[in-house]
Amino acid sequence: MIVIFDKLANQELIDAVEYYEIELPGLGKKLKDEIRKGVQRIIEFPEAWSKRKKDIRHYLLHKFPYKILYSIELDYIYIIAIAHSHRKPDYWIDRITDKS
């Protein structure tokens, strides 16, 4: 199954990686690796994680305070947000209908 990132989710990933890389060289790469592993697990077991809102599911990262919010579409997985777990809950909700 293919994965499509929302444009804003992709930017959130870039921003988070850059932030952690500034904090400690190599930490941004570790975040990116953990997100990549999370996306791979979502591909393998798309229905394993609980629903957050409507049909939006969330995968919690283990080593960083982030979650991957996604929906299961007919022939792809749509990553809606790479969201910090402790900031602005549900800020991503308007992206549900704005898939691009």
93 pLDDT higher than 70? no
SS3 62: coil
Domain boundaries, the chain: 2-92
Q: Which of 92, 7, 80, 79 is nearest to 42 (CA)?
A: 79
61 pLDDT higher than 90? yes
Which string of DSSP letters, residue by residue, matches 2-34? EEEE-HHHHHHHHHHHHHHHHHSTTHHHHHHHH
Tokens of 68: 């991957």
Q: What distance in Å separates the CA atoms of residue 1 and residue 63, rounded to the nearest whole number?
A: 26
Tens digit of pLDDT for each residue in 50-59?
987 788 999 9
Q: What distance in Å separates the CA atoms of residue 36 and residue 52, rounded to the nearest whole number?
A: 21
Burial, 61: exposed, middle or buried (Cβ in 10 Å; 0-12, 13-18, 19+)?
A: middle
Residue 59: partners with Cβ closer than 8 Å, 6 or more residues away: 38, 41, 42, 49, 67, 68, 70
- CATH architecture assignment, domain 2-92: 2-Layer Sandwich (3.30)
Tens digit of pLDDT for each residue in 26-39?
999 999 999 999 99
